[in-house]
Amino acid sequence: MQLSLFNSKPPAPKPAASPLAEKVRSVLGPRVPVAALDDVVDQILKNPISLKIVRQRTSKSGDFRAPHLGDPARITVNGNLNQYAFLITLVHELAHHHVNLDYTNLLKKFTLRRKKKPLPHGDEWKEKFQVLMEPYLNNSVFPGDILPVLIRYLENPKASSSVDHKLSKVLGKYDPPDDTIRLEELPYDAVFSLHGRRVFTKKEKVRTRYRCICMQTNRVYLVSAGAPVELITG
């Protein structure tokens, strides 16, 4: 018997990616860490959703809308986020999608027991978020300064990563340089603008947000403590 050091048959070619997979990769490729791309594409393809990248929103970084009147489930993510914040936000919203799918499937099962709808950021969501983040919790995806803070945050994740000031601060180190500062760094009664549009006066803190008065309309808004703002006077 003669042994060969070479394979007699060439390796089988990998199956061609579907057009949908290629489209998802092209959209997410520039927005998430390279080491996370394959896993996040797989997560989306297993339970497809309508994904839209939108302009910066002060009130939130991402959003999930359940299917309605024939429209598919939809996820939006702010396009200004750095790649690490974008990945966390996307997976946060995918966790909502999974919880909604589980609840929808539960409703299809016949039972005499009343089916309680999960809370938006309750135990079901926290568990899904933790499971979906698991493939990314390594140094090939997240830098060494983000990873331990992120792991601690995931022990009991909140409705928004911006609520966790340690995580929000370390993620902010990877934002492109600009002239903005975090709202929480301004003194009370400071005058600032959001994205160069409306002008506000900063007032007292209400839980994780600050009460801010729009100087053009005198309306009151609750603005996230980590919101990037431009100081005018203070």
Q: Are residues 34 and 104 in the same domain?
A: yes
The string of pLDDT tens digits covering residues 121-167 is 999 999 999 999 999 999 999 999 999 999 999 999 988 877 788 99
pLDDT tens per residue across span 154-207 = 999 988 877 788 998 899 899 988 778 889 999 999 999 987 778 999 999 998
Whether residue 118 sits in one domain with residue 35: yes
Q: State the total domains in the chain.
A: 2
Domain containing residue 142: 19-172
Residue 5 has pLDDT above 70, yes or no: no
Which pLDDT score, from 0 to 100, does residue 16 have?
58
Q: Which one of 172, 205, 222 terminates a domain?
A: 172
Give domain status of residue 2, yes or no. Answer: no
pLDDT: which is higher, 63 or 108: 63
Name residue, tokens 């299917």: 67
Answer whether residue 6 is part of any domain: no
* DSSP 3-state percent helix, strand, coil across the chain (nearest 5): 35, 20, 45
- Tell me what pLDDT residue 210 has: 95
* 166, 208: one domain: no
CATH code for position 193: 2.30.30
Task: Clarify whether residues 140 and 38 are in a common domain.
Answer: yes
Both 36 and 128 in one domain: the answer is yes
One domain, residues 30 and 129: yes
Examine the domain organization and report whether 49 and 163 are in the same domain: yes
Indicate if 102 and 129 belong to the same structural domain. Answer: yes
Mapped onto helix, strand or coil, the DSSP state of residue 186 is coil
Assess if residue 145 is contained within a domain.
yes
92 within some domain = yes
Q: Please enumerate in sequence order all residues whose Cβ is within 8 A of that of 55, keeping only pairs 6 or more positions apart, or say none.
A: 78, 79, 80
- In 3D space, the residue among 18, 93, 31, 24 whose CA is nearest the CA of residue 62 turns out to be 93
Cβ-based neighbour number of residue 132 at 10 Å = 19
Distances (CA, A) of 34 to 75, 85, 222: 21, 14, 36
Q: Which amino acid is present at 43? A: Q
Same domain, residue pair 193 and 123: no
Domain contains 3: no
**Where a domain ends, among 172, 195, 213?**
172
Domain termination residue (choose one: 120, 150, 172) = 172
Q: Tell me what the mean pLDDT of segment 68-93 comes to.
A: 94
Which token pair is 103?
Answer: 């609840």
